[in-house]
Chain A
Amino acid sequence: MADPAHIRNFAIIAHIDHGKSTLADRLIEHCGGLEKREMTEQVLDSMELERERGITIKAQTVRLDYRAADGQDYVLNLIDTPGHVDFAYEVNRSLAACEGALLVVDASQGVEAQTLANVYQAIDNDLEIVPVLNKIDLASAEPDRVIAQIEDVIGIDAQDALPISAKTGMGIDGVLEALVQRLPAPQGAADAPLKALLVDSWYDPYLGVVVLVRVVEGRVAKGMRIKLMAADTTHLVDEVGIFRPKHTKVAALGPGEIGYLTASIKDVGETQVGDTVTEEKRPTAAALEGFKPSVSVVFCGIFPIDAADFDDLRNSLAKLRLNDASFQFEMESSAALGFGFRCGFLGLLHMEIVQQRLEREFGLELITTAPSVIYRMHMTDGEMMEIHNPADMPDPVKIADIEEPWIRATILVPDEYLGQVLKLCEERRGVQINLTYVGNRAMVDYSLPLNEVVFDFYDRLKSVSRGYASFDYHLDDYRKDDLVKMSILVNGEEVDALSTIVHRSRAEKRGRAMCEQLKDLVPRQLFAIAIQAALGGRVIARETVRALRKDVLAKCYGGDASRKRKLLEKQKAGKKRMRTYGKVEIPQEAFIAALRTGD
């Protein structure tokens, strides 16, 4: 166990691409955590997907041994936090495990919305913030402007911000010294009952569930029977250790230390982020504050493109859940898409990540239905139902009113794109709360319905701001509004996978867009096909797929028979995946394409 006086626990807060992972690599390298040959770019982002996207999904940690200028040896624990709004709660818990944070800001780009949200969380957790200006070696760096901006926007003193270049290694010494000198040492008595924060957990094929903890008081060692207080389960500790960044066994973890334990835990779902770990026979008096179970906010249907992949999809979802208890799934069936799963996620990015991992790590071809949120249906009989699948929508006459979740969003955008961004937010039923300027960048706060944000808002925001806008949100409240189920009908029959719950004012535009899109995707046939969007029985948009006018081979003689018949066979094979709507059969591909382009 290290002496708490010589421990410094810190996080790095940075916007994507501002150099967090590169800085972490430099710090590890500098302290000899890994041999040079072992360094791959961005050591901490171990998952392929994380590395590729430059974002962190699971919190990770590394213990650095550093001999400071004062000649003393220090233990520096870096906790690498998830960098996205969907994981705000996980970020919060990671920050709660630290005494300080490096605030890394790109010296030419300045502060972004995501940075802002995380730094406020750090301040709320009472962390010492050390501003670092990265990429100072670039010609476009404007340290003075960015320092002023940090002070303006965040409201912290940034005069002694450290100029560095994580890429070249310039200024890394200064960062390490600042950690030792400016961050407080952790407090906590070693002989007190164990109280540790469960920072994260994941499934390791060799070790089982690995639990990342920050010890606040007391100590944890092999052979101790621990209790997870929120989960109310007990486990025998098999092993405790630290990350350097490779996992290394130690005898015990004491106050201020960050490390892992394994305790033959089978299900990662039992180890919820934010839970308090204590000793069963000598429990701490009070659990740590702020525990929140993870809640799914965004939902969608996930279907295999090939029905034969259904079992694979189920197994893959189960495997993914081993490592990520924050998403849920249950089976659902769709007339248009066959068998699949209704899945719930922490947010949009989380949804995207799970989809990509299913496709990439498990080699599945998938189609997802439009993302949905949880609606509260207040029924005329006084009941309240929570609905996230349009298919479950009750008969409208029995609904007294419907509430939907709203978010509070913060968007930072260069002035020249502000008009477009405001227009987008207004289109999405947004209500402006605040608009301020930081230099030539506007910071605008909006109240927005979440269902408008899950529907291609990110993409539109990126496109109207040419990628310069940054965005952050948190769930705010539920509000009553005029929400309706919009169905898409083909020849008068509903295509269940395309139904959505929308605000009445937005239904016509979205319905028309969907009909137009389908018109181009549904192959023409012998009969004209009506494509309609409807609210209840009322049609609000209609397109017609014209009947084929001419489709016949000009030549077909004795030598053509075999080849042309094979073309027919191909058409026939395609028909296996068709569903009948009235007089016509529509290939599943048309709906799949509609869902894809609708993303």
Chain B
Amino acid sequence: MLKLYYWPGTCSIAIHILLEEIGVAYERQTVDLGQKQQYSAEFLAINPKGKVPALVRGDGSLLTEVPAIAMWLAATAPSFHLVPDDIEGRTRVMEIMSYIAGTVHIQGAARAWRPALFSTHREEQEAVVARGREIVLQGLDILSDALDGKEYLAGEYSIADPFLFFIEYWAAEKVGYPLPANIDAHYNGMRKRPAVRRALAAEGLA
């Protein structure tokens, strides 16, 4: 039985959505980031990186990093075509996953959401948040261009869409950033997907 370690509204929601999309049986377990539970001895024993999402598989082995977990889940359920079959399509999906993971999330959203991680000076934290916002908005512009009027980033629905959804959800619902038109359309489309609805409901998110 797969077990997802997650915290509501974080990037773990991308994996949560994918689990719901493929309809595989899984358990879920919260790791309370607000209480710093990710640094507890108990959780570090499960994931030494102290991060969510973490996916423990049926054989007890752990998989981490959103792009890796997403690719693996897609491979376990090939009939859902969650990753394109062609090299170019797969490459472009990886490009988006890497961009969201390494830049929009780690450099943008992290600054805007947890400025204290980057400066302990109150007066500076506003500037850290502003820079984070700048990076996220630039990211949304670039991803909007990548959507280019398509319903989904790779044309067909793929692992890239739930990952973008995580950023969209956080930007729209948590911090109230304006979404470019393509992004807004993608966000609203995603919210209609049953798997997304189930994941949001499971996480207690509206």
| Real binding pair | no
Q: Chain B: residues with CB nearer than 8 A to chain A?
A: none
Q: Chain A: residues with CB nearer than 8 A to chain B?
A: none
